[in-house]
Amino acid sequence: MSTITALSTTDVRFPTSRELDGSDAMNTDPDYSAAYVVLETDAQDGLEGHGFVFTIGRGNDVQAAAIQALAPFLVGRNVEKLLGNMGTTWRWLVHDSQLRWLGPEKGVMHMAIGAVVNALWDLKAKREGKPLWALLASMSPEELVDLVDFRYLSDALTREDALEILGRALPGRAARTEELLAKGYPAYTTTPGWLGYSDEKLSRLAAEAVKDGFTQIKLKVGADLADDIRRLRTARSVVGPDIKIAVDANQRWDVAEAIEWMSHLAEFDIAWIEEPTSPDDILGHAAIARGVHPIPVATGEHCQNRVLFKQFLQADALQVLQIDAARVAGVNENIAILLLAAKFGVRVCPHAGGVGLCEAVQHLSMFDFVAVSGTTEERYIEFVDHLHEHFVEPINVHSGAYWPPSVPGAGTQMIAQTLADFEFPNGVEWANDLALSGALSMNGNAGTTEA
């Protein structure tokens, strides 16, 4: 029997805006950041649970404060009881009668719960000596559905539906695990396509992507139509006709504008249009999907919870569902979303990149392949080659695939030195040149038109 003795948070930020890595039509100057949480226990094993919310700079302190607000829920609690029934633990955190007013189930408070839930899963996987994907894939269908909160889902997915989906996949689990270990899980790369990159850099990185075995790349679009056409022509000429090219507008357009803009890009054989408009606009995405057909619409990285995903599926508003490891309330809610996607027969291609999103989300796709959807057909996990060196178990991506992690845990643990060096604003990476970067002042740092 052991007890949680501490919940600590760190505001970790990487000065990525200096290089325009991660730049797109909406996110012009991101400083990739993590509101990071560590759970400690008094157990002799010395194991900790690590989790985080990914943000892009300002507000990372608010996100960390929200995680800290969950300390009274966990510190002093029995670890075995918390981890032994993660469904109950999830509901206890998400449905707290006072905290839920701050969402409900969306935004800063919901993501904070996600970080803590993921840290608990990290601890649980470490205790059981398994990587998270294998831990989840070893659980029975009944144990898995117990993790899911079906509240607000029952008009689209019931507990019985979920049991049927998981039961159907049960016999093939062993064979698919072998297949996963032998072939990896398909990846696509966004590395060439950031909006701030020159055409020369785009060409070079696109060629490297093909050489590295990727069969799909993704380009950011939406700031300037002429630029988009030129960059797509460049990319297509470099990769040839057999490599897929997806595009991502990062919520830049209204409905009519999205349809019009995409009509000019269709000639480049677009694999999907991602985030054409507000991530909240289910009916707008449905209209866009009809308007850009047969180009599939992809969205999900900013989708706030399972209730929105349910409606996107009900309305046929997305054809590619992009889960994110750190947007919703953690592993449990993502399992609900994977089950919804399976029920509606829609493919899941996770959003990744950021800080640690690749490390975390790969577990969910691998679990999905082994125990839920049973397929990797036309499915890819996003790959962005940023910041992996800061993780204790960085992703292993080569030959166009993610290779399954074998180390116990959820992949969410950063190197201790990174936490110290990039702590904002006191870590050495910030303290030395904060005046220069302007990250604490608003001079030249505000997003759009200044007042």
Catalytic residue numbers read 220, 351
Evaluate the CA torsion angle 16, 20, 23, 25 in order and state its sign: positive
Spatial contact of 414 and 391, defined as CB atoms under 8 Å apart: yes
DSSP annotation string for 64-87: HHHHHTTHHHHTT-BHHHHHHTHH
Q: How far is the CB of 405 from a copy of itself (least distance, A)?
A: 27
Q: How far is the CB of 333 from a copy of itself (least distance, A)?
A: 13
Spatial contact of 41 and 2, defined as CB atoms under 8 Å apart: yes
Distance in angstroms (rounded) separating the CA atoms of residues 296 and 286: 11
Spatial contact of 395 and 92, defined as CB atoms under 8 Å apart: no
Q: How far is the CB of 111 from a copy of itself (least distance, A)?
A: 8
Distance in angstroms (rounded) separating the CA atoms of residues 216 and 141: 33
Quick one: how far is CA 13 from the chain centroid?
Answer: 18
Q: How far is the CB of 106 from a copy of itself (least distance, A)?
A: 5
Q: Tell me how long the chain is.
A: 451
What are the CB-based long-range contacts (under 8 Å, 24+) for 276-283? 276/249, 276/251, 276/252, 277/249, 277/251, 277/252, 277/253, 278/251, 279/251, 279/303, 279/304, 279/308, 280/304, 280/308, 281/255, 282/308, 282/311, 282/312, 282/315, 282/317, 283/315, 283/317
